[in-house]
Amino acid sequence: MPMLEVICSLIGWLCLYFLFVCTFTQRGPEWNCRLVTLSHGVLIVLLTAYVVFVDGPWPFTHAGTENTELQSFALAVCLGYFFFDMGWCVCYHTEGPVMLAHHAASIAGILLALLMGVSGCETCGVIFGSEITNPLLQTRWFLRQVGLYDSLLGDAVDLLFILLFATVRVGVGTVMFYCELTSPRTSLIMKLGGVVMYGLAWVFMVDIARFGYKKSKAKYKRWIENHKLKDVDRQKVGGHSDKSE
């Protein structure tokens, strides 16, 4: 039954992609794929948020327990998307080895949780933490495409993305990782999968920290240059006033 849901999910994401292709005929394939990614990010964050915070059980205390129907449904929806996106990335060669490794690890982890019928609650928790920053990442890309990235809105998106990634995916993710490793119910293979995903999160965190540092440094230099230009303009204005007197 879960595999049928995965197939239906894959077909659904493919249909959505081709719908975007037919709608945005002037845009390239990546535009349409990122629209699918944005749609998945919003949907899966809302779905896993309900699974984790409302339906339960709590992943920090019930890691390794049997999957509920809603957990299995959420995992199937997400797995279908990852199959779609992995295939698209391989076909169009748009992603590097780190992102492909992340997709492969995500597919393996979700597939194991579905096949074994356990660890659904912490897997949904990991999906929620991983995907909560995804809509911001896609928004950043779309802002670049329409020429609005170099603005206050672009800065706000970048800042919120960095803060969410650091606090949720790395901060809360560290707690989740510890709970999974120490849980007697979690199988060894799921713990190993947790090690891989946690390691990849830190690889991304290092890259994001470098990006944040470079952008902050560039912004500061630009501010200093603008400040100097304003001082020069003021001095020129003052000089002209003295001459006129």
Q: Where does 59-108 show beta strands of DSSP type E?
A: none
Greater model confidence, 77 or 244: 77
Question: Which long-range CB contacts under 8 A does 28-37 form with residues at least 24 apart?
Answer: 29/88, 29/92, 30/92, 30/94, 31/145, 33/85, 33/88, 33/92, 34/138, 34/141, 34/142, 36/81, 36/84, 36/85, 37/85, 37/134, 37/138
Omega of the bond leading into 57 within 30 degrees of 0 (cis): yes
pLDDT of 241 higher than 60: no
- The answer to whether residue 205 sits within a structural domain is yes
DSSP state letter for 171: I
- Cβ atoms < 10 Å from Cβ of 151: 11
Q: Quote the pLDDT of residue 233.
A: 58
- The answer to whether residue 77 sits within a structural domain is yes
> pLDDT band at residue 223, thresholds of 50, 70 and 90?
confident
- The answer to whether residue 244 sits within a structural domain is no
Q: What one-letter code names the amino acid at 219?
A: K
> pLDDT band at residue 215, thresholds of 50, 70 and 90?
confident
Instruction: State how far the Cα of 70 lies from the Cα of 47, in Å rounded to an integer.
Output: 9
Kindly report the pTM of this predicted structure: 0.86
> pLDDT band at residue 222, thresholds of 50, 70 and 90?
confident
Q: Quote the pLDDT of residue 216.
A: 83
Domain interval for residue 177: 2-238
Mean pLDDT of 17-42: 93
- Helix H or strand E segment including 223: helix 188-244
pLDDT digits (tens, 9 = 90+) for 71-116: 999 999 999 999 999 999 999 988 888 888 889 999 999 999 999 9
Q: Quote the pLDDT of residue 242.
A: 52
Instruction: State how far the Cα of 19 lies from the Cα of 210, in Å rounded to an integer.
Output: 37
Q: Max CA-CA distance within the chain?
A: 89
- The answer to whether residue 243 sits within a structural domain is no
Q: Quote the pLDDT of residue 8.
A: 95
Q: Quote the pLDDT of residue 56.
A: 82
- The answer to whether residue 245 sits within a structural domain is no
Q: How many domains does the chain contain in total?
A: 1
pLDDT digits (tens, 9 = 90+) for 128-169: 999 999 999 999 999 999 999 888 898 899 999 999 999 998
Average pLDDT, the chain: 88
